Chains A and B, each alone.
Chain A
Amino acid sequence: MTLRNISELLKAENLNAGCDLDIDIKHVKASDLMSDVLAFAESGALLVTGLTNNHVIRTCEIAGICAVVIVRNKTPTSETIQLSREKNIPIILTKMTMFEACGILYENGLRGIPAKTMPV
């Protein structure tokens, strides 16, 4: 599914005009814990989060995540917006809660990343 489709389904606002909305999203990771994202996310995934600081983008860059949905009508910090433009990682904003957003994406065929356990 493309980010454009996802944006329509979530009635989302695109924060970075000119960014590529036709990128293909294969998996979704929903979390406010960036370490969790680093531990379990896969390259090419979409991140759904309620966090708005610049570590969202840094985490995406390191983990190879290609786009971010920020839920609950939150506005990212100016540093976050600036960094997302520099790193070419689109952010879309939705008024939906994380639960609603994930439910809609699941209903429309997107799936999460298979659960892995952390070796001790």
Chain B
Amino acid sequence: MSLQIIYEEEFRIEGGNFLKAGEASCRIRTILKEIGIDNAIVRRVGIAAYESEMNVVMYAHLGRIRLRVTKEKVFLGIDDEGQGIPDISLAMQPGYSTATDEMREMGFGAGMGLPNIKKNADIFSITSTVGQGTSIEITVKLDGNGRN
């Protein structure tokens, strides 16, 4: 009963394409709303997806977001091919950022991305290899109400 997949899709993300950045996350948000997921949960998943997508656009050559919805949870897996993160605990600190001026002009790069992803997830994991890329897994459970 528990592992039945209600919806599954993979979204490709282009590194450096600021104009298209966010399209996948907005699409994910629309899909979840259409499935009938609670608004507070849709908002949490949307924020986590958008911050993750922006990280791929800002720091990687390319990446993908895997979305999987079951009766119990929404899962997002974000993998990229890019520069990776040398010190994850430092990157998780609110306010720490290696963003360029261009990224900051877009309104991003304030060092809030990863903490914000974690805050909106029930289960969060991140692994990274310098010079290869970063992988993030986010689970938001559907049994609890939205926490925000």
Contact = CB atoms under 8 A, between A and B. Distances in A.
Which of A34, A51, A63 counts the most chain B CB atoms within 10 A?
Answer: A34
A120 B43 CA distance: 20
Interface of A: 32-39, 43, 49, 51, 53-56, 58-59, 61-64, 79, 118-120
Interface of A is mostly: helix
Interface residues of B, number: 29
Interface of B: 18-19, 21-22, 25-26, 29, 39, 43, 46-47, 49-51, 92-94, 105-108, 110-113, 115-116, 118-119
Contacts, number: 84
A55 B21 contact: yes
A118 B119 contact: yes
A101 to B, nearest CB: 18
Given A53-B18, A62-B47, A118-B115, 17 more contacts: A34-B107, A34-B108, A38-B116, A54-B22, A55-B22, A55-B108, A58-B22, A58-B26, A59-B22, A59-B50, A59-B107, A61-B26, A62-B22, A62-B46, A63-B43, A118-B94, A120-B94
